[in-house]
Amino acid sequence: MLEKIEGIVIRTTDYGESNKITTIYSREAGKISAMARGAKKTNSRLAAVSQLFTYGYFLLQTGRGLGTLQQGEIISPLRGLKEDIFKTAYASYIVEMVDRSTQDNDPNPYLFELMHQSLNYISEDYDPDIITHIFEMKMLQVLGLYPEMKKCSVCGATEGTFGFSLKENGLICHRCLESDPHFLPMSQNAIKLLRLFYYFDFNRLGTISVKKETKQELKKAIDIYYDEYSGLHIKSKRFLDQMDSLKDKL
């Protein structure tokens, strides 16, 4: 059966001398893999459309087992992600997270749009740290994780000075700190950004300028939450962290 999908290439695996197995996350069908025969040859009509991060329309021959990529039409190569090693690191982390957190043929249009927006923003020179943190916060509901970000997770207070608690799964106010002696203290600006990233409409993103120190707070909080609750082990996260360290030295 021929199936046309709109999607983004999130993983490629060499197969034999000239073929690739191309994994696409699509709007209509979720994650789907297909053999791209001859795609490793430079003169192949599938060479460009089967590259990592390519956004396009794909025509697949599907059936039992692995399908076959018949042809593709590039909507955007998202070239900016491939021409800058730092952007490549962030984009690789995002697509691997999508890959590792989804099953084949399980469509989620929200997740497709979230991934597409994130990659596009990074390609267009938005701050990749901030885009990645927004993606991570919005991915939590995809993973079935729902930290309390509106009020204190212990007493329900909406006013006060807040920290972040793994034990209580969300924000904790200054009146309830004794319930978690190991809570993560954070600046109130960082708390506001965590809450904003979790709830706001990604389509309405404007210019966000965040201090380096605040970014470090956000990264620490999000990293420890994912380590504690997500169960994901993303190989490209180590590469991304190395790129972050290198960027700080430049």
Dump pLDDT digits (tens) for 35-66: 999 999 989 999 999 999 999 999 999 877 89
Structure confidence at residue 203 as a pLDDT band (50, 70, 90): confident
Spell out the long-range contacts of 97-101 with Cβ–Cβ below 8 A and sequence spacing 24 or more.
97/135, 97/136, 97/139, 97/232, 97/234, 98/10, 98/25, 98/31, 99/10, 99/11, 99/23, 99/25, 99/31, 100/232, 100/233, 100/234, 101/139, 101/142, 101/143, 101/232
For the segment 146-173, what is each residue's pLDDT rounded down to a tens digit?
Answer: 999 999 999 999 999 999 999 999 999 9
Query: Whole-prediction pTM value?
Result: 0.94
Question: Can you give the pLDDT at residue 53?
Answer: 97
Q: What is the mean pLDDT of the chain?
A: 94
Confidence (pLDDT) at 249 = 61
Going by pLDDT thresholds of 50, 70 and 90, the confidence category of residue 207 is confident
Tell me what pLDDT residue 248 has: 67
- Band (pLDDT 50/70/90 cuts) for residue 250 is low
Ordered domains of the chain (ranges, CATH):
2-144+230-249 (2.40.50.140), 147-214+221-229 (no CATH)
In the predicted structure, residue 182 carries a pLDDT above the cut 70: yes
- Percentage of the chain surpassing pLDDT 90? 86
**239: its two tokens:** 């590469």
Q: Based on DSSP, count helices (H) and strands (E) in the chain, helices before strands.
A: 6, 7
- In this predicted structure, the answer to whether residue 127 has a pLDDT above a threshold of 80 is yes
